[in-house]
A and B are shown apart, each in its own frame.
Chain A
Amino acid sequence: MTILIDHLISSMIGVPFIGIAILAFIRDEKSIKRIAFGITVVEFFLSLILWRGFDFNLESMQFVERVEWMPTFNIQYAVGVDGISIVLVLLTTLLFPICILCSWTSIKTRLRAFLSLILLVEGAMIVVFTALDLFLFFMLWETTLIPMYFIIILWGGPNRVAAGLKFVLYSLAGSLLLLVGILGVYLNGGYTFDILMLTEQTYSSSTQSWLFLAFFLSFAIKMPMVPFHTWLPEAHSEAPTAGSVILAGVLLKMGGYGFLRFCLPMFPEASVNFAPYILWLSIIGIIYGGYMALAQSDLKKLIAYSSVSHMGFVTLGIFVFNSQGIQGAVLQMFNHGVTAAALFICVGQLYDRTHNRAISNYGGLHKPMPRFAALFFLFSVASFGLPGTCNFIGEFLVLVGTSYISFAMVLISMGGIILAAAYMLWMLQRVVLGEPKTEAAKMLPDLSNRELATLIPLAILVLCIGLYPGPLMELMDVSVIHLIHQTTGMKIG
């Protein structure tokens, strides 16, 4: 047991890869699914152990493990978590079992390959969120791309090849900038890749600006911030359900995590200098994403564009540099991960039944599918931040944080919330309410127990975080204060 605790993060990284190895030897499809699911559940329990062992009063990294890897270049295998990364690790391990559960019957071809890829993404994600070494971070950051690409182009919708290509090329463009940035940091920061040591360095103003921009653009593409967002609707809508869940639930958060882990502490001066532009860009993103979602006639695209809008709140919160803003942003990342994932699963369940994503195809679902209608309703209202559900707390905190900077920004972003309510309720009105359009629509089967099992945990989370966000927020409290201290030099309590 102590070995496990001492190497908890390494074992969390190792488990999915071991899982892939095990899957290679199994023939029976049913056992493949069960084993893959079991592995993700084990992973989830490991993350719960991590949560239990985590001391949120410490601002330093915890569960740190360091091994020399390539000493010539000062590259280490170094992992550890602080209050911000643990939230995202929890989100990751939470969503993957649900991912596997929701693709239980919808994936019919090359099942083993599919599940292996999913496990590969999970392992890579955990490294991305825990890496303390830039080289390690970059490697696994890139690694997430490849399985996602294959998940999209092998199991996706009709337009999958183009969408997959667009996704990869966009991301690679970002990665290239990230690589340039990383090399720049390496060369200017004393030839080390150690993130903690690099954050201690100070760079000259012009270097900071250039490096900041390189990092920023790459994370902004991942986020995605307007105008670098056009890969997202296509990738989300063409990916299979599990792919969309991973993309919206976890992959987008890599961008936000990057801002918090690299941009802010490494380049504080540049962050503060660029902040006004980024804030306005975020607000444009919030409003623009809302308008885009309003114009969509495809369910998945609607949710994809709503992600653009919600991610605007994350960047808004990050770049106001105060406790409420950043805590709200991290919480918003978690909450968006839960609600967007749940909405994509809901749409996936509809797609499994009708093989159609057009809103106009649906109507009156409350009659044949009352359970589905209730859950879909809950996630939709949570998505636009109804008070009492999880997104509200995140958005409210971000807005409180923003109000220290500017009232205009607060009021305009509130317009984004109205737009969110408008497109979500309008979508509900067209999909859930009314009369079923066809005879076939009246006969649609309601959710099976397996489908319920994918959605109920998320529904419980939506309500629990909405009504009692305390535990999640105290996890990151100290780390966020430490981060703000690193960025602005202010010590707030």
Chain B
Amino acid sequence: MTYFALIPFLPLLASIILLLGGHRWRENGHLIGIPAIGLSFGLSVAAFIEVLINGPFTLSLYRLFESGSLTIDLTLFVDQLTVLLLLLVTGVSGVVHVYSSRYMIGESRYNRFFAVIALFTFSMILLVMSGNLLMLLISWEVMGICSYLLISHAAERPSACRAATKAFLVNAVADIGLSFGIILTFLTFGTLDIPTILAQAEGMQSNTINILGWMGLDFHINPLTLIPFFLFMGAMGKSAQIPFHVWLPLAMEAPTPVSALIHAATMVNAGPFLLVRLSPLIILSPSAMTFITIIGIATAIFAGVVSLTQSDIKKILAYSTISQIGFMIMACGLGAFAIAIFHLLAHGCYKAFFFLSTGNALRSVEPGHQHGNHEHHVHEGMGILYGGALLLALIPPFVLFSGSYEYLWGITGFVTATIGFKIIALITVFVASQYLFKGVTSLFVQDPKTYWPASEEHSLERQPIRPKIFNGSILTGLFLVTIIFGWLLTLFWSWFADFLAPVLNFPGVVAFGENKMENGFPFWLVISLGVAVAGWIYAYSKHIRLQHQVSTKNKRSSFLYVFFWNQGYFDQIYDAYLVTPTIRLAHWLWKTIDVRVIDKSVYFIANYSVYFARSLWRIVDIRWLERTVGQLLGPFNTDGQLKQEMQFSTLQHQVLVIIFWLVALTGLLYYLI
């Protein structure tokens, strides 16, 4: 059993080896990374079987620290949810590793790249396996810093560096919520051990804390209402939900395989995972559940529409991911946790495939071509194969849509689920089918109006020599594995629901396919299928008639269109109202408070002391004592100049200063004694 602890630590080991010694071995980093991830994947399969047969298990690692009542024991907690995500993470990461071993040839810092993606994988594995909230927080943040390193992989490009910093900071803001939620959880439960918390969650409902105690007020509130809000704030950051979604499009600055990793296996999946992992806790706060649903829906629709208006393939994909994660978050908010996980796995397989083929297509774009004039240099047959596979992946009862269909009629069991939600969900399906269609066509069908990202071209120009094409058969094999894996999920969905059931066995959860049998006729399935098909047709007709080609010159562009094309102006708003004022405030504070007020007063005191000393010297020492002495000495007095130097006004002032200080000091002494 203990060897399951190797699942996270093999990639870590690979990463450490590569970080320390990587610069010595030319382009051979994958020789360490791939076996490590491969073994991890094998062990994950073993863990899956183990859980299938014997149920969940826990592995203790070590005691991190003990401070007062706060004891942190690091444990790996492996249950049904964990093994499913383990399979996805190690599987996709393995594919990405193999893919990158060819893709990254000729790139600078080849081995560093493999070191960081191994570390990235490690942190995601640790995240899904962590049995302690603090450990979860640690892996959560390590993942953030890995994404920083990967986004800034092309460190020569200023835009990549800016994107990396921005992505990390957006996450840092959201992570405040997570950290605070964890602290609140500790205050409420007295422990951070996840299984204990989940077991105790229901019994804590009568517990209250005074949140305004520091103001001397009495305002008691049930912490269980608050905790989910804060935890969800962290999830919003990593999963790119409105208003924290701005980092994901920026993350496209990373090399394409990394995008596959971020969008399919790691990072963005952390949010839904957190919600499902802590679902017994989160479901106790109906207001938080409503909030989660609203954020999910808003994100799904907003990002979907933005995705439709974009003309840069990478932006289309980024926003489609945001939208899909929005679906999952919405499912969580409705209590359909199993469906969220199903959708997460399906989306992971599909997105990994999509990104890797995008990378292939992008690589085949020759540098120097004008926008919209590119030609695909994908092998004729392979293009069809990819396109075909992709279309299969999109056809309704298969991978991608099944999740959203299912929860559409699954939500009837939940209190907050009303017809309104269903209509909104249908709108999102409509939008989703359109942007997916657009994504496919822009990749594999000649579509002269889709812009290819300028940044990628730039890097291509930098390195004109690269291997012509990937080993088609290996890639095709990988793709097929991905697709088949996704299909298997679909085919065995009822089994899947049974498998996850022990994790989600508490009141308020929508069971998977609960109402299907009762209804007899899957009414909502047909409705949503119809909507999706309508979306496809609409997209196709638009596509044929006029490509989504946006420029401010275009007379057809309405206000809304421009609004969404600019991605809702989120970036601009943050820059104008958050970033710039902060930096301005910093400069103002420094120049005004630090330099003018504090430093000036220090210097003032110092100068005044010197002035005081000088006055004493002039008046007491020279004027009075010398004069007395001088008078005594009479004829021998030679000190005439000094007296002339002194002006009456300064003299008066100096006397006043001395008197003031004498009085002040006496008063102070008198008061003290």
Residues of A at the B interface (CB closer than 8 Å) are 166, 169-170, 210, 227, 229-230, 288, 291-292, 294-296, 322-324, 327-328, 364, 366-367, 370, 374, 381, 386-388, 392-393, 396-397, 399-400, 403-411, 414-415, 417-418, 421-422, 425-426, 428-429, 432-435, 467-470, 473-474, 477, 481, 492-493
Contact A406 B155 (CB under 8 A): no
CA distance A397 to B65 in the complex (A): 10
**What residues on B are CB-neighbors of A397 within 8 Å?**
67, 70
A-B Cβ contacts below 8 A, count: 146
CA distance A381 to B137 in the complex (A): 15
CA distance A467 to B63 in the complex (A): 10
Contact B67 A421 (CB under 8 A): no
Contact A295 B589 (CB under 8 A): yes
**What residues on A are CB-neighbors of B180 within 8 Å?**
407, 410-411, 414
Report the minimum CB–CB distance from B521 to chain A (whole Å): 51
**What residues on B are CB-neighbors of A324 within 8 Å?**
67-68, 70
Give 17 CB contacts A-B under 8 Å: A169-B606, A292-B589, A292-B590, A294-B582, A294-B583, A295-B590, A386-B142, A399-B183, A400-B183, A405-B214, A406-B214, A408-B214, A415-B176, A422-B172, A429-B165, A433-B164, A470-B65
Report the minimum CB–CB distance from A119 to chain B (whole Å): 32
Contact A425 B168 (CB under 8 A): yes
- Give per-residue flags for B499-532: 1 if the beta carbon is below 8 A from chain A beta carbons, else 0: 0000000000000000000000000000000000
- The answer to whether B152 has its CB under 8 Å from any CB of chain A is yes
Task: Take A387-B142, A406-B214 as given contacts and tell me if A433 and B590 are in contact as well, using a CB distance cutoff of 8 Å.
Answer: no
Report the minimum CB–CB distance from B69 to chain A (whole Å): 8
Report the minimum CB–CB distance from B517 to chain A (whole Å): 46
CA distance A397 to B70 in the complex (A): 9
Contact A295 B587 (CB under 8 A): yes
Contact B583 A388 (CB under 8 A): no
Contact A434 B156 (CB under 8 A): yes
Contact A469 B155 (CB under 8 A): no
Task: Take A429-B161, A474-B66 as given contacts and tell me if A364 and B155 are in contact as well, using a CB distance cutoff of 8 Å.
Answer: yes
- Give per-residue flags for B474-515: 1 if the beta carbon is below 8 A from chain A beta carbons, else 0: 000000000000000000000000000000000000000000
Main secondary structure of the interface of B (DSSP, over half): helix
**What residues on B are CB-neighbors of A421 within 8 Å?**
168-169, 172
Task: Take A294-B586, A414-B180 as given contacts and tell me if A425 and B138 are in contact as well, using a CB distance cutoff of 8 Å.
Answer: no
Report how many residues on chain B are interfacial, defined by Cβ distance under 8 Å: 56
Task: Take A366-B155, A387-B137 as given contacts and tell me if A414 and B582 are in contact as well, using a CB distance cutoff of 8 Å.
Answer: no
Contact A291 B165 (CB under 8 A): no
Name B158's contact: one of A422, A434, A474 (CB within 8 Å): A434
Within 8 A of A (CB), among B196-245: 211, 213-214
Report the minimum CB–CB distance from B585 to chain A (whole Å): 6
Contact A469 B64 (CB under 8 A): yes
**What residues on A are CB-neighbors of B164 within 8 Å?**
429, 433
**What residues on A are CB-neighbors of B67 within 8 Å?**
323-324, 327-328, 397, 473, 477
- The answer to whether B173 has its CB under 8 Å from any CB of chain A is yes
CA distance A323 to B141 in the complex (A): 26
Report the minimum CB–CB distance from A358 to chain B (whole Å): 16
**What residues on B are CB-neighbors of A381 within 8 Å?**
145
CA distance A434 to B606 in the complex (A): 44
Report the minimum CB–CB distance from B214 to chain A (whole Å): 3
Contact A407 B62 (CB under 8 A): no
Report the minimum CB–CB distance from B152 to chain A (whole Å): 6
Contact A230 B594 (CB under 8 A): yes
Contact A433 B594 (CB under 8 A): no
Tell which of B23, B145, B593, B672 has the most Cβ of chain A within 10 Å. Answer: B145
**What residues on B are CB-neighbors of A364 within 8 Å?**
155-156
**What residues on A are CB-neighbors of B76 within 8 Å?**
none
Task: Take A291-B586, A387-B141 as given contacts and tell me if A396 and B134 are in contact as well, using a CB distance cutoff of 8 Å.
Answer: yes
Contact B142 A417 (CB under 8 A): no
Across the A-B interface, the 10 shortest Cβ-Cβ residue pairs: A323-B68, A406-B214, A294-B586, A295-B586, A295-B590, A387-B138, A433-B161, A387-B141, A291-B586, A414-B176
CA distance A327 to B63 in the complex (A): 17
- The answer to whether B461 has its CB under 8 Å from any CB of chain A is no
**What residues on A are CB-neighbors of B172 within 8 Å?**
417-418, 421-422
Contact A425 B165 (CB under 8 A): yes
Task: Take A370-B23, A387-B138 as given contacts and tell me if A418 and B173 are in contact as well, using a CB distance cutoff of 8 Å.
Answer: yes
Contact B211 A407 (CB under 8 A): yes
**What residues on B are CB-neighbors of A429 within 8 Å?**
161-162, 164-165
Contact B602 A230 (CB under 8 A): yes
Tell which of B176, B213, B590 has the most Cβ of chain A within 10 Å. Answer: B590
Interface contacts beyond A288-B593, A399-B179, A405-B214: sample of 19 additional A-B pairs, CB < 8 Å, sorted by A: A210-B672, A291-B589, A292-B589, A294-B582, A295-B591, A324-B70, A386-B142, A387-B137, A400-B183, A403-B186, A414-B176, A421-B169, A422-B169, A429-B161, A432-B155, A433-B152, A434-B156, A434-B158, A481-B68
Within 8 A of A (CB), among B134-178: 134, 137-138, 140-142, 145, 148, 152, 155-156, 158, 161-162, 164-165, 168-169, 172-173, 176
CA distance A405 to B594 in the complex (A): 29
Tell which of A324, A388, A399, A400 has the most Cβ of chain B within 10 Å. Answer: A400
**What residues on A are CB-neighbors of B137 within 8 Å?**
387
Task: Take A169-B606, A364-B155 as given contacts and tell me if A406 and B213 are in contact as well, using a CB distance cutoff of 8 Å.
Answer: yes
CA distance A386 to B137 in the complex (A): 10
CA distance A397 to B183 in the complex (A): 10
CA distance A348 to B582 in the complex (A): 29
- The answer to whether B575 has its CB under 8 Å from any CB of chain A is no
- The answer to whether B375 has its CB under 8 Å from any CB of chain A is no
- The answer to whether B639 has its CB under 8 Å from any CB of chain A is no
CA distance A487 to B65 in the complex (A): 24
Report the minimum CB–CB distance from B134 to chain A (whole Å): 7
Task: Take A414-B176, A417-B172 as given contacts and tell me if A433 and B155 are in contact as well, using a CB distance cutoff of 8 Å.
Answer: yes
Contact A407 B214 (CB under 8 A): yes
Report the minimum CB–CB distance from A128 to chain B (whole Å): 25
Report the minimum CB–CB distance from A56 to chain B (whole Å): 12
Find the B residue at minimum CB distance from A433: B161
CA distance A292 to B591 in the complex (A): 9
Find the B residue at minimum CB distance from A426: B165
CA distance A327 to B180 in the complex (A): 19
- The answer to whether B659 has its CB under 8 Å from any CB of chain A is no
**What residues on B are CB-neighbors of A474 within 8 Å?**
66
**What residues on A are CB-neighbors of B187 within 8 Å?**
403-404
Report the minimum CB–CB distance from A378 to chain B (whole Å): 10
Contact B599 A400 (CB under 8 A): no
Name B598's contact: one of A230, A403, A426 (CB within 8 Å): A230
CA distance A324 to B142 in the complex (A): 24
Contact B62 A468 (CB under 8 A): yes
**What residues on A are CB-neighbors of B85 within 8 Å?**
none
- The answer to whether B308 has its CB under 8 Å from any CB of chain A is no
CA distance A492 to B67 in the complex (A): 11
Tell which of B62, B591, B594 has the most Cβ of chain A within 10 Å. Answer: B594
Contact B179 A396 (CB under 8 A): yes
**What residues on A are CB-neighbors of B602 within 8 Å?**
166, 170, 230
**What residues on A are CB-neighbors of B672 within 8 Å?**
210
Report the minimum CB–CB distance from B9 to chain A (whole Å): 12
Name A418's contact: one of B62, B176, B586 (CB within 8 Å): B176
CA distance A370 to B186 in the complex (A): 41
Contact B211 A470 (CB under 8 A): no
Contact B589 A403 (CB under 8 A): no
- The answer to whether B184 has its CB under 8 Å from any CB of chain A is yes
**What residues on B are CB-neighbors of A434 within 8 Å?**
155-156, 158, 161
**What residues on A are CB-neighbors of B62 within 8 Å?**
468, 470
**What residues on B are CB-neighbors of A425 within 8 Å?**
148, 165, 168-169
Report the minimum CB–CB distance from A352 to chain B (whole Å): 23
CA distance A264 to B490 in the complex (A): 64
CA distance A410 to B158 in the complex (A): 35
**What residues on A are CB-neighbors of B161 within 8 Å?**
429, 433-434
CA distance A387 to B214 in the complex (A): 28
**What residues on A are CB-neighbors of B176 within 8 Å?**
411, 414-415, 417-418
